[in-house]
Structure 1
Amino acid sequence: MIRTTVFPAAEHVRTPWRNGRGTTVELARQDGPDGFDWRLSIADISSEGEFSRFPGYRRVISTVEGAGMRLTVNDVPGDDLHRFVPFWFDGADHTECELLDGPIRDFNLIYRGDRVAAHLEWCRPESDAHLVSRAATTLLFNAGADLTVQLSDGQGESGTSLTLGHFDLMRLDAHDAPAATHRLSGAPDSDYCVVEIERIV
């Protein structure tokens, strides 16, 4: 059986950074024996500076609002990161953020690479778009206009239909259920992100 959980944007709780340069909203997480195994969050960044380090973790970051940013990792400047372009780096790296043109909002995945494998992809709905949930945990984050999801039970039968609003998150936990194909529909600008997480130990 696939368990479905929706985290609406209306319930987001913002936590200010200790340095006063931004705020973070934790969207979802999975705890492990010593801290979290993975965590999804969005952050508002209002000024440039150094990122906190997370030794033992991998990170993926994308701009979802604003002009974008440029990251310098271990003194090596990177490319400009405009909206919906993911950037992967090691949480232990010395990483500095430069804003391209004012404040931004970003989307973050951080995970223990020795415990879980992760895949992240940004998409836009087409006329007949589908989400195939084959991983232990699949997360769908809506960064655009309303996105309708027709859920499947994994046995070929259609189930509940739900609509994800702007910045809503849906989590699907498979619990050994077979892969399921869910139908997606939305406006052409309904950008969304699919994150698949599989435990490896």
Structure 2
Amino acid sequence: MRFSVDEIAPAPWKNGRGTTRELAQRSEQGQMVWRLSFADIAQDGAFSTFPGLSRIHTIATGHGLKLSGTNSEYVAKPLKPVEFDGGLILNATLTDGPCQAFNVIFNPQLTQAQASIVEGESIGLEGGEKVLFVLAGQLDMGSQGVFGVQQGLVLDAPATGVLSDDGVVLVIQFTPI
């Protein structure tokens, strides 16, 4: 399944303090397994909570932010995925202006998710469910097409691709429980 940020209208955050674009979602028997979204973060403030779920937050544009809670603190820097409990009550403080972030929200009782950044090389992916999201440059996936910045795809079969010299791709690998 192919998706593009530019083709999805923004919707208000769960807490109403920003906007997001829901890129893809997978459910089983009426229960969410995972959801992918792309958020515009323009102001400091409370982060939406997702009790019982886990999150991976990756800054795609801008300088990032700091997430602070009662007993926890996370620094989200560009192209550095940060994983945390979606139920944590966190406040975001922007680092030098607005940013955009790719978010994975997943049910840890149904799947595990692992994020990695691949830069300027070929990509070879084993089987299993995975997501590729282009953060810079281009990704040529052969018969599946060429993907530009803020475009991606969900795959469930082995695949190979070639990144442009300036290419950066976020890879999310899902492993069922």
The TM-score, its normalising length taken from structure 1, stands at 0.81
Offset at residue 32 of structure 1 (A)? 3.1
User: Is the contact made by 1:62 and 1:84 (CA closer than 8 Å) also made in structure 2?
Assistant: yes
The TM-score, its normalising length taken from structure 2, stands at 0.91
Runs of 4 or more off by more than 2 Å in structure 1?
A: 16-21, 32-35, 73-79
Of 142, 150, 156, the match for 1:167: 150
Q: Does structure 1 residue 48 correspond to structure 2 residue 36?
A: no
Offset at residue 20 of structure 1 (A)? 4.7
Indicate how the Cα distance of structure 1 residues 117 and 76 shifts in structure 2: closer, same or farther if over 3 A, else same: closer
Q: How many pairs are equivalent?
A: 177
Q: Does structure 1 residue 131 correspond to structure 2 residue 86?
A: no
**Identity among equivalent pairs (%):** 29
Of 140, 145, 163, the match for 1:185: 163
Offset at residue 33 of structure 1 (A)? 3.3
Task: Give the aligned partner of residue 102 of structure 1.
Answer: 97
Q: Does structure 1 residue 29 correspond to structure 2 residue 25?
A: yes
AA aligned to 2:131 is: L
AA aligned to 2:135 is: A
Task: Give the aligned partner of residue 12 of structure 1.
Answer: 8
Indicate how the Cα distance of structure 1 residues 10 and 99 shifts in structure 2: closer, same or farther if over 3 A, else same: closer
Tell me, in whole angstroms, the C-alpha distance in 1 between the residues paired with 2:159 and 2:156. 14
Tell me, in whole angstroms, the C-alpha distance in 1 between the residues paired with 2:50 and 2:14. 16
Which gives a bigger RCO, structure 1 or 2 (Cα 8 Å, sep 6+)? 1
SS at match of 2:6: helix
User: Is the contact made by 1:7 and 1:170 (CA closer than 8 Å) also made in structure 2?
Assistant: yes
Give unmatched runs, 5+ long, in structure 1: 151-159, 175-179
Q: Deviations over 1:15-49 (max 9, x none)?
A: 02365531100111102334411001110011111
SS at match of 1:10: helix
Give unmatched runs, 5+ long, in structure 2: none
Tell me, in whole angstroms, the C-alpha distance in 2 between the residues paired with 1:18 and 1:86. 22
AA aligned to 1:68 is: G
AA aligned to 1:23 is: T
Task: Give the aligned partner of residue 111 of structure 1.
Answer: 106
Offset at residue 197 of structure 1 (A)? 1.2
Task: Give the aligned partner of residue 155 of structure 1.
Answer: none
Higher alpha-carbon Rg: 1
